[in-house]
Every structure is written in C-alpha cells, then in structure tokens.
Amino acid sequence: MLLIHCPYCEEDRPELEFRNAGEAHIARPENIAEISDEEFAQFFFIRSNPKGLIYERWRHIHGCARFFNAVRDSVSDKFLMTYKAGEKRPAVKAGEKA
Amino acid sequence: MTAAFRTTAAGRLKGAKPVSFSFDGASYQALEGDTLASALLANGVHLMGRSFKYHRPRGVLSAGAEEPNALVGIHRDAARKTPNVRATVQEVYDGLTAVSQNRWPSLAFDVGAVNDIASPMFSAGFYYKTFMWPKAAWKSIYEPTIRASAGLGVAPDRPDPDHYASRYAHCDVLVLGGGAAGLSAALAAAETGVRVIVADEQPAVGGALRFETGSAIDGAAGWDWAQATAARLAAMDNVRVLTRTTAFGYYAQNMVGLVERVSDHLADPGHDLPRERLWQVRAKRVILATGAIERHMVFDGNDKPGVMLASAARTYLNHFGVLVGKTIGVFTASDSAYAAAIDLKQAGAAIAAIVDLRDNPAGALIDRARALGIEILSGRTVVRASGNLRVASMTVRATSGGPERTIPVDALLMSAGWTPSVHLFSQSRGKVAFDTATRRFLPGDYAQDCVSVGACNGTDTLADTVKEAIAAGEKAAKAAGAGKAAALKLKAETSESWAGGMVGAAPGAGPDTSGKAFVDFQNDVTAKDIRLAVREGMRSIEHVKRFTTNGMATDQGKTSNIHGLAIAAEALGKEMPEVGLTTFRAPYTPVTFGALIGHAKGRLFDPTRRTAFHAQEEKLGAVFEDVGQWKRAWYYPRAGEDMHAAVNRECATVRKAAGIFDASTLGKIEVVGPDAAKFMELMYTNPWEKLEPGRCRYGIMLREDGFIYDDGVVGRLAADRFHVTTTTGGAARVMNHMEDYLQTEFPHLDVWLTSISEQWAVIAVQGPKSRDIIAPLVEGIDMSDAAMPHMSVREARICGAPTRLFRMSFTGERGFEINVPADYAAAVWDAVWAQGQKHGACAYGTEAMHVLRAEKGYIIVGQDTDGTVTPQDAGLDWAVGKKKTDFVGIRGLKRPDLVAKGRKQLVGLRTKDPKVVLEEGAQIVADPKQPIPMKMLGHVTSSYWSENCGRGIALGLVAGGFERMGQTLYVPMPDKVIEVEVVGQVFFDEKGERLHG
Ligand SMILES: [Zn+2]
C-alpha cells in the first residue's frame, strides 16, 4: 500500500484514505457550450495514459476531502510529488524525486 | 515407548513431553516440539502422500516451508479440516489427527497410480492438448474428473468457526528472518534504541543454526546463541520478536504482510486465541535475512520416499533427534552434504557412500568424512534411485558414463547447493542479477528502502554474514533516525562450508535418458517435460513455466525454479539469464483466507445502515430488503398476507386514504453560500436563480457527457441555502461530483457543501388524507393549498421538534415529506402513526413505493436509466433549462449521437393481456418471427402488477419509442411471446389532479 502525501494535511497517509480521480490538468473549457465536437472529444474522452510520468488527480476522501494533483511514475507506481489543485503543472523528470 | 528412529545421540527434544497423534488412523508417539514430519520419521514412516498428477508415493523432501511433497490434511473436528498442510511445518500436539491426501483407497495402495504407468499420456501440455473438444464436455466431464483425480486436499465443507486477528504495526527496522544474519542485524539495530520488529517463520529463531552444529557465535553454540539473543531482544522495550510468523508479501513503500500462526500448534487453543494474526507492518527500513533453500538433485527416482535434502536429514537429526535411515546414501555437488553425512555417521547411522559430481572435492569437511571411513565416490553420479514405497537402492556410475553399481540404501540425501531466497526482494520490485561465477541469482538493483544480508544475499560464510548483518542493522537504524550508534561486535566461528553446487539435471538424467527425474515435485514436472516444452517452441521461461506448470504449485518452485531454468537454458543453448527468471509474487507461502479477511466477515463484513425508524418498522412487522448498506422496509405483511397481497393493499391504501413511508435513505446535501444558486445552475440542468425561497423543484444532474447521473427534489430554504435530495444509491457519488466541481472547476464560487443525509430522518406521508394526518402535529405554518402548494418547503416545528416540511410527491398523490432531526425521529413517527390510524393510513414499503411511482411514470435513476440515457430520452426534456448558457452536460447533450434519430426512449408498455406482468430486463422486438439473433429494440426497465390500474404496467427503453406510440411490439420469452402496446409513461391519473386532491 502506497503512502501518499496530502498537500493540504501536509502528512503522508496510507493509500486507503485516498481515491484516484483521473488525469490532471484537463480544464473544463470556459465556453464549453460553444466548443466543437472535436474539442469536446479532446476534453472529455482523450487521455494520455503514458508509460512513465503521469499527472493525476487524487482526493483525500477519508481525510480532509480535498482534491489535489500528483506526479507519479506509472511504471514503478511511485509518487514523485503532490501539489495543491490550481497550482501549475510542475516540470519533473522521471526518476527524480521532487 | 521410544519411537524406533529416535536417537539419544543428537537432538534438542530430550526430556520433552511425549504426546500421541494419528496418521491415517494409526496411532503414533511423538515429542512436544516435533513437527508432524519429524514425528512420522521417528516412527519410520516415510510415505506421507501421493503426487498431484502421477499419484507417485512421496515422503518428505525438506524440513521447512519449501516442502512440496508431504502435504496432509489436519482434522481438528468436523468444521476444522485444513487441507494441504505441510507436515514439515505443522507442529504436533497431543491428539493431532492427520490424514494423507490424493489417494484411494489407501496411501500404500492407490488406484490413481495407474497414471504413473500411463504417464506418456500425461506429458507437459497434456491438459491443453487433450481436453480441447467438445467444448461442452469440459464443464460436464473433463473438469470434474480432472479435479477429482488430480486433486490436492479436500476443502472443508462447513463455515470456518475460528477467528482471525489483524494488526497494523509501524517500526523503524523490520528484520525478516531470525537466523544468524537476522538476529545479528536486529540486535545491532535494537541497541541504538530504534523500534525493531524481527519475524521468523519457525517456532524458534535460529534459521540454519537449527542443523548447523558446527557454528559458534559469541562463544556459544550457534543455536544456543540464537535462543539467548532472541530472549535478549524480546526483553527490550523497543523490540518485538515474532516467531511462527511468515512474511508473505512485500508491498509498496516497505509495507510487509506477515501472518502469525497463533494456535495451530496447540492441542486445545480455546476460544480466546485467534487461529492466526495478520500483521501489516510499515517499516522505515527492511532488512531481508531470508536465508537460502537447498536444491535437490534432478535424477531418475529422486522422488522416492526416503530421498530428501541433506539439510533436512541433518535437521531431523540435530534438532529433532531422528535418524532418517539406517543405511544412508548421499548424492551431492556441495560440501554441506558432507556435514550431514558426518553427523549421521556419528549418531550411529551407516553411510553407504557419498556420491559427489565433482571430480576432486577438497576441504576440511571432505577430509573429515574420509577420516571417518566414509566411502567418497567423486566424479560419479546417481543415475537412479529404486524402491517402491521407500527408496531401496541408488545406482551409481561415473559422470562420463560407464558401468553402473547399485548400492542398497534406505535413505538418500541430496544437495545440489543453495538457492538464495530472493522471493521477498523480488516482491519488493528489486531486480535480481545473475552471478555467473556461482550460477545463482542475487539481489541486484533495489527498488525500496531495504537491504539483503547473509545467505539470501549470497554471503556464504558465517563470519561474513554476521559482519554484514551488523553493519546493515546499524546503517538501517541510522537511516531510520537512530540517535546513537551501537558498537556491536560478535565473534563467529564455523566448520561449516557451503562450497560447490550445480544447477540443472544431473549427468545421467540428460536429454537422451528415460526415467522420471523430477524438477518440480509438487506439480510432477520432470526434466523431460521441460525439454519437451522447448521442443514445442517455448522460448521464454514464462512460457516454459506455463506449459509445464513448473514452479506454479503452492510451493512456488522454491526448490525447482533454478533447475527448471537451467534445463530450459541448456535445451535452448542459451545462458540462464537470457531465458529469464520468473518474477516471484506474494504470497511466499500459502496464506489462509481467514487471515486476510480477519474480522471482516458475517455481520462485520460490511457496515449495516439502519434508519432512525428501524425499530418502529420492525414493530409493524416490516420485511426488510438490502439496498446498498441500508436495511429498508420492503413491505409490511399482515396476518395471512403474502408479499403480493401486502403490496396490493399498501398501494390501494395510499391512493384511497394515505400511506406512511420511511424516505430517510435518500441522500441529502445542503448547498449554502452567496453563490449557492449559481452553483446549482451549474450542477443541475434546471434553472434555479428564479426559484423562490420556500419552493421546490425536481432537478436533474448530468455528467459532462450529457447522460443522467442523478435526480431529486431540491428545496430552496433561503436565497443562499438549498436542501438537495439525491437518490439513495447516489448520495456519496453526488457529493463527490459536487465537491469535485466546486474544488477544481468552480473554486471562485463561495459555496459550502454539507452532507446531511444522516442528520435528517424523513417520513413521507402520501395520499388524500396526508394533510389531515399531519396538520394537527405541525406548529407555526399554514398548510392550506394556497399557502403551501405542491412543491413547496417550510421550516416549522412538528411535535415540538424542528422540521423541514416538504410538500412533494413520489406517488402522484397529495404528499408531504417530514424531515426531522434523527434524534427526534422515533417520537415523531409514533405521533404520525397514531394520527394515521385515525384516517385509515397504513405503512408502506419500498415495493409499494416502486409500484406507485411507476403508475405515475416517475423514473428511478439506475433502473430506468443506465448511464446512457439523456433527459430527452427519459421524457424529461422539460427539466432542461433552455435559456441556460452553462451547466455540466450542456455540451454533451449536443453531441451528434445524442441528438440522432432512433435513440432508445423511455415509454410505457401495456401488455395486451392485462393479467400479464412483464419481466424486468426482457428484450423487446418488432417482429418475433425473425430469425435468431433477433434485432432488439430495447428492454423492459420497470414492471409491476398495479392493483390500482387492475393490470400489469411497465416502462421500457425502446429505440425511437416516442414515435411508436400505439404500435404493437413483442417480448419473446422462453415459453411464449408477449404482445405489448407502446403507450405514454403515465398509467394513473394522467392529468395529475390528485397531487392537489
Ligand atoms: Zn488531506
């Protein structure tokens, strides 16, 4: 079981307390009613699913209940870092602990 | 009476209490401290089981957890029958009952042994090739027959009466293995003051010191030092020593699963002790001191009872005081087997000969054996072990070939050297590296904060092991935050040697030979099977493994993997690492489901949620149904009523007088804040800004793709406060959905969300008399139609308690939903109930609720919708705010597929025969005479007998349904075809007048 650092609680807590919430940094278009089918498909259906570094959302659902973002290595499962929702996508290299 | 093979010349059980046990009905004596295996051997019993596929007679191979052969059933009582217990692990207690497995009618005479004679039929891949056709025969004939004849033990047929404990633990340094390495490391770490847990799978620590009598540490005999060290550790406040505890799984971030066998060794465990205890340990640092496992020799007949690992025979002698035979042969490529021969000779056994594959074995142990007069046949191999139920001879020749010599033996010890136990290291996702010089896999790149020490790290001598372990213990302690350094020094001396070793088939069991040279005993895989796999085109060890099942039994190939790999590599003409080593997976040894489940069974499997009215409903005779975790009153049968009669009465009573219903399980969320209305506009399809405080609206929530996610009535309590209801099943996910948008997409909105599902209990009172029933109980508001019309909400008091009183209806009748704080719920229910009695009301359950809402065509999200239904499809287009510029799902609704013609739409279905009630889930077609497979138009989503309509009623999703009004469609069933007419969704009071009636 992984330990996950909640950036709001500022504590490492067991994975049991968290729930994954899919890929991060996919913003809902502000003019969503006007976007094209192609743009909607990109926004709603298409995910990167990379081998290696993955930016994803987690929720500390059985804790502070906050959503936050994480950089994780999808090969080793390891978390490289976590950060608050709304913060910029950090540049992290594979194998490097931020 | 002393058992025939118990010796006083060696062993540690002297003076132990005698106990008796039975094996296959025969009674035997043992000593406390024996394993079942050592006790049987003491009595001269070597035949302990039959093999999996060929039903060959088998005895013990080992003296530990790696045992592939001696698997037995342990029967405590009718409910406690544990199959596949390793006789080498099970400790004997007084009265223990063991039975052999996989034999009929008896262990000595087994009809299934005909498989051995017919074995050419059962070569590798046999199952894949033979039972291919006909497909139906697999289920009815092949599988049951194969399972019955190629079985292991028989599963118990009663519920497990034992209980299992579970604990979480945290420590600085977790040491896995309590041999010389583990204990040295643990002591070095513990002396710095950090928190240490050390676990060992045996009843006592010691590891290889159990049989290695040539080792001394700190001036004491190795075994004695180990026991003293364990006692010293156990006495320290910062240390926990766990014996009979197996580390079975190494998970992410140094989370290690241990299972402690608490009471399987006790004659009378009583009811207080758990059978096993699961430990989930999170450690800052892990030290792997898991030792090594001796490999057998691969030659014809190497599975005969009496043929065993040299270290096993030495354990039986030096620990249990048991001689495994009187005339003993040794077949080795490693020095360590010489020590076994020496110990046995000194204990009075005759050593027939030591057959050594090596041409010129040299060293102190070899010299000592020679000095004792033991015949050493170097450069020779054993080509065959013979005997029926017990080995009777070994046949020897030069490794290069030539004449054979047969030597009578009653036991044959073998050693192909030692395989480092890298299982847990591999589970930690560490990468093993092949050491070419010693032809073994050792820990290479580490993936976690752990380190390997001793034999599992390929460290061969005791002095090096102890030194390495102390350094690792100190380093781990420091890394885990130890404040002080320990300066532990231990002097280690030994006459033991693990030099030598070989991998693969022995000379004489090569590709050109016949006979059964077993690689994997538990799955009956021979060297020939592995070569066949290569001939059939398997190239990777992963393919060879699956084709032959080598290493796939419950022993996970602890003795067989390396031999199998070496034989495959040789057949392929490649180096071992090129063929690959299979990844080790948890569990290291089998773990009971009981240990993993712990207390989470029966009543404690899942929380049970009961509403605040549960006791009231029980008193009224409710039958409950499970809805998720909730217990909901399903119907309230009166004397002589079946479910059908009760539901009919409840439905009729609601429409005639009134019904009282527990609606507490609906999810409730309070949406509060200056931007609450704005937030509601985004989360629901409906408009909210203009909804006046005190009014309610039926809301639909979509996902971004435009499909219905949830629905419910929402009351606006104030300009900045909404009381939102959700479906029962949707309560948690709707809250999550709202939080997600509020936190991540609309964080600029000043809104708070609070789950209030548990705070407010809800009594629905529905029916023409509903207002008459509750009005006398309500204080402070005008409940007239003018003052409180349909779809309004008031905050008031009922029976003196605060209430949020909704006028709303899920039945089509005039109706109210009384929200009261859960603490007042019972009293308010009693008052409402008493009032209801005056007006002829009854309690109704979820079944009647479903019928009543279906009569009105009200949908249930998740039953009439399935995640691919839009509001338009469901006939709820009116609830989508057409002037709105944004809400979740607004863009999804415009997707081409969602506006295309021919979508499935929710319609009513009237059976031509009113007495017929359709089956929910039944398919709907236009032409029942078309060939199969028919083109399906949709399916029935809800269907009930409606007493109020006097007929069966149904809703269904039908392609182009709205354009098919009046059409006749067909529902083909196994025995008949049912004709239905497509109608509107509303079956009762189509104009909706009764809401105000
Ligand atoms: Zn948190």
Q: Check if B704 contacts A (Cβ < 8 Å).
A: yes
Pairing of strands B630-635, B609-610: parallel
- Residue B468, φ and ψ in degrees, nearest 5: -60, -40
CA atoms within 13 A on the CB side of B299: 29
What confidence score (pLDDT) does residue A94 get? 61
> Above 50 in pLDDT, residue B266?
yes
User: What was the ipTM of the complex prediction?
Assistant: 0.97
* CATH code where residue B486 lies: 3.50.50.60
Q: Which residue of B has its CA nearest to A58?
A: B740
Write down which residue in B433, B462, B494 finishes a domain. B494
Comparing B112 with B35, the larger pLDDT belongs to B35
Are B581 and B432 spatial neighbours (Cβ–Cβ below 8 Å)? Answer: yes
Question: What confidence category does residue B565 fall into, taking pLDDT thresholds of 50, 70 and 90?
Answer: very high
* B210 pLDDT higher than 60: yes
Q: How confident is the model at residue A17 (pLDDT cuts 50, 70, 90)?
A: very high
Q: Which of B494, B522, B548 is the last residue of a domain?
A: B494
Q: Which of B326, B327, B331 is nearest to B309 (CA)?
A: B331
Residue pair B525/B519 in contact by the 8 Å Cβ criterion: yes
Does any domain span residue A80? yes
Residue B732 domain-assigned (yes or no): yes
Which residue blocks in B87-221 are alpha helix, DSSP H?
Answer: 114-117, 126-130, 135-137, 143-149, 180-190
Could A44 and B892 be called an inter-chain contact, meaning their C-beta atoms sit closer than 8 Å?
Answer: yes
Closest CA to B774 of B756, B786, B788: B788
Q: Quote the number of domains for chain B.
A: 3
The minimum CA-CA distance between A10 and chain B, rounded to whole Å, is 18
How many residues does this entry show for chain B?
Answer: 997
In a domain, B231, yes or no: yes
Instruction: Look at residues B704, B254, B245, B194 and name the one whose alpha carbon lies nearest to residue B448.
Output: B254
Reference B887, options B756, B699, B727; nearest CA is B699
Give the separation between CA B510 and CA B529, rounded to whole angstroms. Answer: 12
% of residues, chain B, pLDDT over 90: 91
What percentage of chain A has pLDDT greater than the value 90?
Answer: 89
> What does DSSP say about strands B923-924 and B968-972: parallel, antiparallel, or unpaired?
unpaired
Same domain membership, residue B861 and residue B834: no
Cα separation, B271 vs B106, whole angstroms: 35
Q: DSSP letter for B297, please.
A: P
Are A40 and B739 a contacting pair at CB < 8 A? Answer: no
DSSP secondary structure string for all residues of B97-120? EEE--S-SB-SSSBGGGHHHHTGG
**One-letter identity of residue B126:** F
Are the CB atoms for B396 and B410 separated by under 8 Å? no
Instruction: Give domain status of residue B568, yes or no.
Output: no
B674 shares its domain with B792: yes
Q: Are strands B951-959 and A53-59 parallel, antiparallel or unpaired?
A: unpaired
Instruction: Please give the pLDDT value at position B102.
Output: 77
In a domain, A31, yes or no: no
Question: Both tokens of residue B429?
Answer: 């996702």
Range of the domain at A51: 3-26+37-96
Q: Does residue B935 sit in the same domain as residue B794?
A: no
Flag whether A55 is in a domain.
Answer: yes
Q: How confident is the model at residue B130 (pLDDT cuts 50, 70, 90)?
A: low
Which residues in chain B are contacts of A40 at CB distance < 8 A? 891-892, 895
User: Is A37 in contact with B896 (Cβ distance < 8 A)?
Assistant: yes
B583-600 pLDDT, tens digit each: 889 999 999 999 999 999
Q: How far is B279 from chain A (nearest CA, A)?
A: 13
Percent of chain B with pLDDT over 70: 96
Q: Does residue B839 share a domain with residue B737? A: yes
The reply to whether A32 falls in a domain is no
**What is the average per-residue pLDDT within A27-34?**
96
Residue B138 pLDDT class (50, 70, 90 cuts): low
pLDDT by residue (tens digit) across B174-186? 999 999 999 999 9
Predicted local confidence at residue B111, as pLDDT: 73
Whether residue B848 is found in the same domain as residue B866? no
Residue B955: inside a domain, yes or no? yes
pLDDT band at B417 (very low <50, low <70, confident <90, very high): very high
**What average pLDDT score do residues B908-936 get?**
97
Q: Which residues of B171-206 are buried (b: 16+ CB within 10 A; e: fewer)?
A: bbbbbbbbbbbbbbbbbbbbbbbbbbbbbbbbebbb
> What radius of gyration do chain A's Cα atoms show?
15
- The verdict on B859 and B849 lying in the same domain is no
Long-range contacts of B777-781 (CB under 8 A, 24+ apart): B777/B828, B777/B831, B777/B832, B777/B835, B778/B803, B778/B805, B781/B805
Distance CA B666, CA B677 (A): 22
Say yes or no to pLDDT of B44 above 60.
yes
What are the backbone angles phi and psi of residue B479, rounded to the nearest 5°? -65, -30
Residue B250, in any domain of the structure: yes
pLDDT confidence of residue B512:
87
Asked whether residue B646 is domain-assigned, the answer is no
Q: Which amino acid is at B169?
A: A
State the CATH number of the domain containing residue B989. Answer: 3.30.1360.120
- Confidence label for B362 from pLDDT (cuts 50, 70 and 90): very high
Question: The domain that contains A55 carries what CATH number?
Answer: 3.30.2270.10
Give the residue with greater pLDDT, B138 vs B730: B730
CA distance B198 to B247: 10
- Rounded CA gap, B885 and B603, in Å? 50
pLDDT for B128:
60
Does B933 have pLDDT greater than 50? yes
pLDDT of residue A98: 44
For chain A, count helices (H), then strands (E).
1, 6
**CA separation for the pair B780, B795 (Å, rounded):** 9
Tell me which residue in A3, A61, A67 faces B744 most closely, judged by beta carbons: A67
pLDDT tens digits for range B765-780: 999 999 999 999 999 9
| Structural domain span for residue B951 | 855-995
**Do the domain assignments include residue A20?**
yes
CA B989 to chain centre: 52
CB contact under 8 Å between B892 and A28, yes or no, is no
CA dist., res. B230 & res. B200, Å (int): 11
- Phi first, then psi, for residue B112 (nearest 5°) are -65, -15
Task: Specify the DSSP element, H or E, that contains B281.
Answer: strand B276-288
Cα distance between residue B286 and residue B449, in whole Å: 7
Nearest Cβ partner for A1 among B251, B447, B891:
B251
> In the numeric block, which tokens belong to residue B866?
């399935």
Going by pLDDT thresholds of 50, 70 and 90, the confidence category of residue B891 is very high
B697-723: average pLDDT: 98
pLDDT tens, residue by residue, B498-544: 999 999 999 999 998 889 999 999 999 999 999 999 999 998 899 99
| Radius of gyration of the CA atoms of chain B, in A | 38
- Residue B721 belongs to some domain of the structure: yes
B697, B791 in Cβ contact below 8 A? yes
As a whole number of angstroms, the distance between CA B24 and CA B35 comes to: 16
| Interchain contact, B253 vs A3, CB within 8 Å | yes
Confidence of residue B133 (pLDDT cuts 50, 70, 90): low
Q: Please work out, in degrees rounded to the nearest 5, the angle formed at the alpha carbon of residue B403 by the alpha carbons of B401 and B408.
A: 110
Whether B125 has a pLDDT exceeding 70, the answer reads: no
Q: What is the mean pLDDT of residues B235-254?
A: 97
The number of residues making up chain A comes to: 98
Pairs of residues, one from chain A and one from chain B, whose beta carbons lie less than 8 Å apart? 52
Rounded CA separation B792/B786 (Å): 11
Alpha-carbon distance B168 to nearest alpha carbon in chain A (angstroms): 12
Chain centre to alpha carbon of residue B329: 44
* pTM score: 0.90
Question: How many other C-beta atoms are found inside a 10 Å radius of the C-beta of residue B99?
Answer: 18
CB < 8 Å to A78, chain B: 252
Fill in the amino acid letter for A90.
P
What per-residue confidence (pLDDT) applies to B421? 97
Q: Is the same domain home to B869 and B936? A: yes
Does any CB of chain B come closer than 8 Å to the CB of residue A1? Answer: yes
Average pLDDT, chain B: 95
Task: State the pLDDT confidence band at B2, using cuts at 50, 70 and 90.
Answer: confident
pLDDT for residue B997: 72
> A91 — contact with chain B (CB < 8 Å)?
no
pLDDT in tens, B317-328: 999 999 999 999
3-state DSSP of B725-791: EECCCCHHHHHHHHHHHHHHHCCCCCCEEEECCCCEEEEEEECCCHHHHHHHHEECCCCCCCCCCCC
Could you tell me the CA-to-CA distances from B400 to B356, B506, B507, B508, B516 in Å, in that order?
13, 11, 8, 9, 20
Three-state helix/strand/coil letters over B218-265: CCEEHHHHHHHHHHHHHCCCCEEEECCEEEEEEEHHHEEEEEEECCCC
Name the domain boundary from B433, B464, B494: B494
Q: Is B791 found in the same domain as B698?
A: yes
Q: Which neighbouring-strand residues pair with B408?
A: B393
A51 and chain B: CB distance < 8 Å anywhere?
no
Do B455 and B425 contact (CB within 8 A), yes or no? no
Closest listed residue to residue B257, CA positions, set B587, B555, B557: B587
Residues B731 and B799 in one domain: yes
- Closest of B951, B995, B987 to residue B857, by C-alpha: B987
Inspect the interface and report whether the beta carbons of B252 and A35 lie closer than 8 Å. Answer: no
- The reply to whether residue B890 touches residue A33, judged by beta carbons under 8 angstroms, is yes
Q: Alpha-carbon distance B245 to B66, whole Å? A: 15
- The burial of B550, by beta-carbon neighbours within 10 Å (0-12 exposed, 13-18 middle, 19 or more buried), is given as buried
B871 and B807 in one domain? no
Q: What's the domain count of chain A?
A: 1
Tell me the pLDDT tens digit for each residue of B736-749: 999 999 999 999 99
User: Sign of dihedral through CA atoms B221, B222, B226, B232?
Assistant: positive
The whole-angstrom separation of Cα A10 and Cα A6 is 5
Ligand 1 (ion): residues with CB under 5 Å are A 6, 8-9, 60, 63-64
Q: Is B553 part of a structural domain of the chain?
A: no
